[in-house]
């Protein structure tokens, strides 16, 4: 693609000099490590780093055109735009050939449940015969191949590059987690979603969004941006959540609602829960069905309904959807049971928000025969307002809460712990504090007796711990398995 053709998608810009010599673009990037001769480098103002300071380095490595938010002194042409985030999204969409328009795109947003819902959607559409792709917290997945990811929703260039690879691999349907931060930063601008799914809205990411109102506004963008020209665009909304009911007014697309406790187009009733799975009566636009799935917990009923409604919006037969759910397997780190012969139920879960932790503890208390132990911490350099709430929920929802480290990052672990303990007063059961996470997990498992349950919350699928700026291997599941094996040996 010629540079002139690429930058034509930027309608409002200043080109310095206006008559630069055209050239074939070899790469589009905002990362100087990926600059090659003939590249276009986009200088993005990030949360911590301003890409404009790396323009000389990009030019030295062979960049032949710079996209920036202000004129810069450099030896190559510069395209000046108002917002380089937005420009990068437009450029990426053009450079990779508008790939989302050749795919069935299903975007899932909400505080909790995004990962599980996207994977349920993947299983349903795979059962229907589609080749599927997934973009989310765990990885980017194209068919059976997986690729690492840093953020829940990658940057605009990575997104479009991944979608182009999916088109080349002949993927039919893509299930994509869409975070509030990605929506706010424009990482998904240019992606043509066919179906947008809302799971729920509770406190999270306030270190970034500052207020719940701003957080909600960011979530709403997925539905406000959902195209209204095509008649088959659909917004799938959880109307058990008042925010889901509100979002119905924010979209020009078709609306399909789902719920457990309220009237909805897709509804679950007569829910039966056990550690072996879920059963419920399903109503889809007045038609009645019976659903049985090995997934566990009331929160997974809502996740199933979200996936069912998305598949219905795409036109799949309900019978095909139910068949896929009957064999659905859970996502790693989401209410994941650790195998053991000790008689102790140990669950690893990603619950890192007050709402998520409360839901998982509520589920575990329904099945535990005796005591419930809860091991939980809070991440450093993140929203501090939820820390006392997390501690309160852990104490109220368990027989014994053990507070520990999560990913302290560059924050003092003692400050994080003090923030958590601020939520506990003298009238409440007192938690135990064990800073070392491995020791905390081992202590909870050693105390537990047959019929007891242990929840290890907060990190879920993560196989690392970040202390300071050092990232070291740490896996809650592995730690729990080793502690259970040692317990069984004694």
Measured distance CA(325)–CA(236) in Å, rounded: 18
Q: Which residue ranges does the chain devote to CATH 3.90.190.20?
A: 336-489
395-450, pLDDT tens digit by residue? 999 999 999 999 999 999 999 999 999 999 999 999 999 999 999 999 999 999 99
Determine the average pLDDT of the residues in 285-306: 96
What percentage of residues in the chain have a pLDDT greater than 70?
A: 98
Q: What is the pLDDT of residue 220?
A: 85
Q: Mind listing the pLDDT tens digit for each residue in 311-340? A: 999 999 999 999 999 999 888 898 999 999
Can you name the CATH fold of 99-325? 3.40.1190
Residues 6+ apart with CB under 8 A from 106: 118, 121, 173, 174, 175, 176, 193, 194, 195, 196, 197, 310, 314
What is the pLDDT confidence band of residue 210, given thresholds at 50, 70 and 90? low
User: Which phi and psi angles does 50 have, rounded to 5°?
Assistant: -100, 115
Q: Quick: pLDDT tens for 453-490.
A: 999 999 999 999 999 999 999 999 999 999 999 999 98
What is the three-class DSSP state of 446? helix
Q: What's the pLDDT score for residue 230?
A: 61
3-class secondary-structure state, position 126: helix
Give residue 256's pLDDT band: very low, low, confident or very high (50, 70, 90): very high
**Are the beta carbons of 440 and 456 closer than 8 angstroms?**
no
**What integer pLDDT is reported at residue 181 of this predicted model?**
82
pLDDT of 209 over the 60 cut: no
If phi over 0 gives left and psi between -120 and 50 gives alpha, with beta otherwise, what is residue 247?
Answer: alpha
The pLDDT value recorded for residue 432 is 97
Position 225 scores a pLDDT of 85
**Of residues 280 and 139, which shows the higher confidence score?**
280
Q: What is the pLDDT of residue 226?
A: 87
CATH number of 336-489: 3.90.190.20
Q: Is pLDDT of 205 > 70?
A: no
| Confidence label for 47 from pLDDT (cuts 50, 70 and 90) | confident
**367-374 mean pLDDT:** 95
CB 21 within 8 A of CB 45: no
Residue 222: phi and psi, rounded to 5, are -60, -35
pLDDT reading at 203 higher than 70: no
Q: What is the DSSP string of 288-347?
A: EEEEEES--SHHHHHHHHHHHHHHHHTT--HHHHHHHHTT--PPTTSSEEPP-SSS-EEE
Contact between 471 and 463 (Cβ < 8 Å): no
How confident is residue 180, by pLDDT bands cut at 50, 70 and 90?
A: confident
Per-residue pLDDT reduced to its tens digit, 80-131 = 999 999 899 999 999 999 999 999 999 999 988 999 999 999 999 999 999 9
List every span in the chain annotated with CATH 3.40.1190.10.
99-325
Q: Token digits for 414? A: 């003692």
Q: What is the pLDDT of residue 229?
A: 59
CA 218 – CA 212 distance, rounded (Å): 10
pLDDT at 99: 98
pTM confidence score: 0.87
CATH 3.40.1390.10 fits 3-95, yes or no: yes
Contact between residue 134 and residue 141 where contact means Cβ atoms under 8 Å apart: yes
Q: Is the pLDDT of residue 206 over 80?
A: no
The reported pLDDT for the residue numbered 204 is 57
Q: pLDDT band for position 215 (50/70/90)?
A: confident
Query: In degrees rounded to 5, what are phi and psi of residue 272?
Result: -120, 125
CATH 3.40.1390.10 residue spans of the chain? 3-95
* Mean per-residue pLDDT over the chain, rounded: 93
């Amino acid at each position: 693609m010629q540079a002139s053709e690429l930058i034509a998608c930027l309608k409002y810009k200043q080109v310095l000099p206006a008559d630069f010599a055209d050239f074939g673009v070899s790469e589009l990037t905002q990362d100087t490590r990926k600059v090659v001769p003939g590249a276009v480098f986009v200088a993005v103002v990030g949360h911590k780093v301003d890409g404009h300071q790396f323009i000389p380095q990009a030019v030295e490595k062979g960049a032949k055109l710079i996209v920036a938010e202000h004129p810069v002194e450099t030896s190559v042409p510069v395209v000046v735009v108002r917002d380089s985030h937005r420009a990068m999204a437009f450029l990426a969409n053009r450079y990779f050939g508008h790939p989302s328009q050749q795919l069935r795109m299903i975007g899932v947003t909400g505080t909790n449940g995004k990962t599980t819902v996207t994977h349920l959607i993947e299983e349903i559409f795979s059962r229907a015969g589609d080749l599927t792709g997934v973009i989310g917290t765990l990885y980017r997945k194209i068919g059976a191949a997986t690729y690492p990811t840093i953020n829940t929703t990658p940057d605009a260039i990575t997104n479009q590059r991944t979608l182009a690879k999916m088109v080349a691999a002949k993927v039919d349907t893509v299930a994509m987690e869409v975070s509030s931060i990605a929506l706010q930063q424009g990482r998904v601008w240019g992606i043509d979603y066919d179906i947008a799914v809302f799971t729920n809205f509770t406190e999270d990411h306030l270190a970034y969004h500052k207020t719940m109102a701003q957080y909600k506004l960011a979530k709403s963008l997925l539905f406000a941006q959902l195209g209204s020209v095509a008649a088959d665009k659909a917004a799938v909304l959880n109307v058990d959540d008042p925010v889901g009911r509100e979002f119905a007014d924010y979209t020009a697309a078709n609306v399909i609602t789902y719920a457990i406790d309220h009237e909805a187009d897709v509804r679950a009733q007569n829910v039966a829960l056990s550690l072996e799975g879920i059963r419920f009566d399903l109503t889809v636009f007045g038609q009645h069905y019976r659903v049985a799935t090995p997934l566990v917990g009331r929160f997974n009923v809502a996740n199933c309904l979200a996936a069912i409604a998305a598949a219905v919006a795409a036109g799949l037969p309900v019978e095909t959807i139910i068949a896929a759910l009957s064999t659905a397997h859970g996502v790693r780190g989401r209410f994941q049971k650790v195998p053991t012969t000790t008689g102790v139920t140990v669950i690893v879960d990603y619950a890192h928000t007050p709402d998520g932790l409360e839901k998982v503890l509520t589920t575990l208390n329904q099945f535990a025969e005796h005591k419930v132990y809860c091991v939980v911490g809070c991440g450093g350099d993140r929203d501090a307002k939820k820390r006392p709430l997390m501690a309160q929920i852990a104490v109220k929802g368990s027989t014994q809460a053990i507070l520990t480290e999560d990913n302290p990052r560059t924050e003092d672990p003692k400050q994080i712990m003090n923030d958590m303990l601020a939520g506990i007063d003298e009238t409440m059961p007192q938690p135990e504090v064990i800073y070392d996470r491995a020791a905390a997990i081992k202590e909870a498992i050693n105390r537990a007796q047959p019929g007891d349950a242990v929840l290890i919350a907060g990190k879920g699928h993560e196989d690392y711990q970040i202390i300071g700026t050092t990232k070291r291997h740490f896996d809650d599941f592995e730690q729990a398995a080793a502690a259970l094996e040692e317990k069984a040996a004694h």
